[in-house]
Amino acid sequence: MTTTWLITGATGGLATPMIEQLLQRGDRVAATIRKPGALDHWKQQYGEQLWIAELDLTHPEQVKNVVKRAFAEMGTIDVIVNNAAYGLYGAVEEASDEQIEHLFQTNVFGSLRVARAALPLLRQQGGGQLVQIASMAGHYSTPGMGLYCASKWAVEAAMEALALEVAPFHIRTMIVDPGGIRTNFITSNAVFGERTELYRGQEAGQFVSMMKGELPGFDEETFNRIVIGDPQKMAKQIIQTVDEDQMPLRLPLGSDAYEYIRKALVDRLDALETQKELAFSTDADDVIRQV
């Protein structure tokens, strides 16, 4: 049975290997891009199997129009994949207001706009699936990545609630939490705050230097070798999981994702346990405990 997918950010991250694998197996794909002509090579090969539209997630009306067009022209959309996103790196203080706003407009509000535009149409056709590409960075934060992590934390929270809200309408939701991926996410899509000497020698500055390939003996090829995730394997696993009858709420991909997420959760739980007595001590004396 042929499945129809709508995938945003079709030329970056996990979208490229996903689309390639989906087209090869005979599925139909509605892909959104920022640069005209970026998928012409696949369009020539697969014809009507591939539907393409230009989309800037920071334009709300454009998002609504493109999603409606995709449903109307494809007839049905079975799976929505929110993939489009990018990274903003550097100390929190080093990023400009405009950079922070654009990051959230794309990574957070853009994903929500696509989902919110698609939900009425998914309900109308009797259900569907929503896949949100998030990140292991949605479970922890670290110097030099604070703002990117914040955008992913926000996506995790919104989609976790949304998953429960739309389940009664036969819409299944899955949050994908990949670790590092050997794609152009860093080398081509990264944005950096304005570097200052204040942070250059600190952990945040050292992280940026690594990302920029400025550390001695640490070039782009070396960076790529230390990145764990295989994009082809990850794409295949996402597709296989969507095909299954039961999708998990979250899908960690990569051993680094498992380790980082686990450590973040364990550390947070350990810290919480040390504050249990303090937390309980601030309860009202006449509180009525709800069962």
What is the sign of the dihedral through the CA atoms of 83, 88, 91 and 92? negative
User: Hey, which residues does 143 pair with through a beta bridge?
Assistant: none
* Residue ranges of the chain whose pLDDT lies below 50: 185
Architecture of domain 4-86+105-189+230-278: 3-Layer(aba) Sandwich (3.40)
What is residue 27's predicted lDDT score, i.e. its pLDDT?
Answer: 98
**What distance in Å separates the CA atoms of residue 146 and residue 143, rounded to the nearest whole number?**
6
Q: Following DSSP, what letter does each residue of 159-182 receive, concatenated? A: HHHHHHHHGGGTEEEEEEEE--BS
The tens digit of pLDDT for each residue in 108-143 reads: 999 999 999 999 999 999 999 999 999 999 999 999
pTM of the model: 0.93
Q: Give the Cβ contact number of residue 268 at 10 Å.
A: 12
